Amino acid sequence: MLTDNSFYAEDVNYVLCQSGIDWEKFRNKSVFITGATGLIGAFAVNVLSQADEKFGLGIKLHLLIRSETKAQRLFGKRVENFILHTGDVETIGGIDTDVDYFIHAASQTSSKGFVDTPVETFRTSVAGTMNMLEAARSSGTKKFIFLSTMEVYGTPSDDRKISEDMKVSMLSSNVRNCYPISKIAAENLCCDYASEYGMDIAVFRLTQTFGPGIDYNDGRVFAEFARCAVEDRDIVLKTKGETKRSYLYTADAVAAILMVLTKENHGFEIYNAANEDTYCSIYEMAQLVAKECAGGRISVRIEEPKDIAGFGYAPTLCMNLDTQKLRRLGWNPSVGLKEMFVNLCRSMEETSENRNIELKY
């Protein structure tokens, strides 16, 4: 299970020690988590499960999952303590119980998936979120968290800070925009439910988030960089790597989510979530991994294909998120980009079949 990995277990303990989370707010409460076997959802499950044991809170965890087998693999015997709801966010029926807190983390995350299955991507964001909002409303949820994305800001072209009130526009004729446009629509649904039904809802516009716990074969760029370091393979970029963005460690992201979950704002709020100190280009990040995680044993090469449309890559952009609003609540990320990758590489090495590889950091 996930917590068998020593680096993952350390990260869970790191969140349990965060003073900004009011653990007493979870006493005898129920929490419903969608996307509970995904990276962020599963980490939140493990944190809340261990908080329940450590502080004797009496938390009831409801998990929306697609596969019980995967849930058992990720959570081990702990899964016996959870209430499992098997299905998907679009079709699952009402929740026949009261739910105090709701974390809606289910989403398509593959850039290739945005291009190959745009209708399904859009439907998951919009129909799925509306279905979950209805379920939360009918079950008397005190606080609803929706995980959105930095991509709702479109394609900024310079390094200016981006705050939550930035206005954007994007082409509806671009198939890949099914993802950011559907997320904007889902955010607006959250705003509408807060306004019409008096629900307390917070939206997190997350930057790219990673850490121990990702699948070894995850297709996203940070996972490929880490695999290259673990396997001593050169990092091969399919673009010049000019896109710039900040990143966020999974443990820091979940700490922010749980902190906001227990704050009663009685309305609708949007928060950017990122570690601003990690802002860099993809090429610079690749160079960091080659040097700091692979000890200079690998190189970074650029091999641009003639047609990259099928990869589903976002256009070159500068996504420099301003996180003042979230930090004013008392949250501060503490894990930088080098440490994020070192922890990820060591975690992947520990759980991979390539156990004979010795990394030199």
Residue range 158-167: mean pLDDT, rounded: 95
Domain ranges of the chain: 2-212+249-276+320-335
The pLDDT assigned to 354 comes to: 41
Is it the case that residue 358 has pLDDT exceeding 50?
no
Residue range 10-16: mean pLDDT, rounded: 97
Q: Max alpha carbon distance in the chain (Å)? A: 58
Chain-wide mean pLDDT for the chain? Answer: 92
Contacts of 78 (CB under 8 A, 6+ apart): 1, 46, 49
Residue range 237-246: mean pLDDT, rounded: 93
The confidence band for 95, taking pLDDT boundaries of 50, 70 and 90, is: confident
The number of C-alpha atoms within 13 Å of 72 and in the hemisphere containing its C-beta is: 5
Which fold is adopted by the domain 2-212+249-276+320-335? Rossmann fold (3.40.50)
The pLDDT assigned to 356 comes to: 44
The pLDDT assigned to 318 comes to: 95
> Which residues does residue 204 pair with via DSSP β-bridges, in sequence order?
147, 271
Region of 167 (left: φ > 0; alpha: ψ -120 to 50; beta: rest) is beta
Please count the other Cβ atoms lying within 10 Å of the Cβ belonging to residue 123: 17
Q: Tell me the per-residue pLDDT of 31-62, one tens digit each, with 9 for 90 and over.
A: 999 999 999 999 999 999 999 999 999 999 99
Region of 229 (left: φ > 0; alpha: ψ -120 to 50; beta: rest) is alpha
Residue range 212-229: mean pLDDT, rounded: 93
The pLDDT assigned to 357 comes to: 43
The confidence band for 266, taking pLDDT boundaries of 50, 70 and 90, is: confident
* pTM attached to this predicted model: 0.93
Residue range 79-83: mean pLDDT, rounded: 94
Closest by CA position to 109, among listed 41, 47, 50: 41
33 neighbors 63 (Cβ within 8 angstroms): yes
Q: Tell me the per-residue pLDDT of 163-203, one tens digit each, with 9 for 90 and over.
A: 999 998 899 999 999 999 999 999 999 999 999 999 999 99
Q: Tell me the per-residue pLDDT of 284-334, one tens digit each, with 9 for 90 and over.
A: 999 999 999 999 999 999 987 766 555 556 678 999 999 999 999 999 999
Closest by CA position to 20, among listed 327, 284, 288: 327
The pLDDT assigned to 305 comes to: 73
Residue range 272-281: mean pLDDT, rounded: 98
Residue range 332-355: mean pLDDT, rounded: 87
Percent of the chain with pLDDT over 90: 83
The pLDDT assigned to 309 comes to: 53
Residue range 68-87: mean pLDDT, rounded: 94
Report DSSP letters for 192-244, one per residue.
HHHHHH---EEEEEE-EEE-TTS-TT--SHHHHHHHHHHHT--EEESS----E
The confidence band for 351, taking pLDDT boundaries of 50, 70 and 90, is: confident
The pLDDT assigned to 92 comes to: 86
Length of the chain in terms of residues written: 361
The pLDDT assigned to 209 comes to: 97
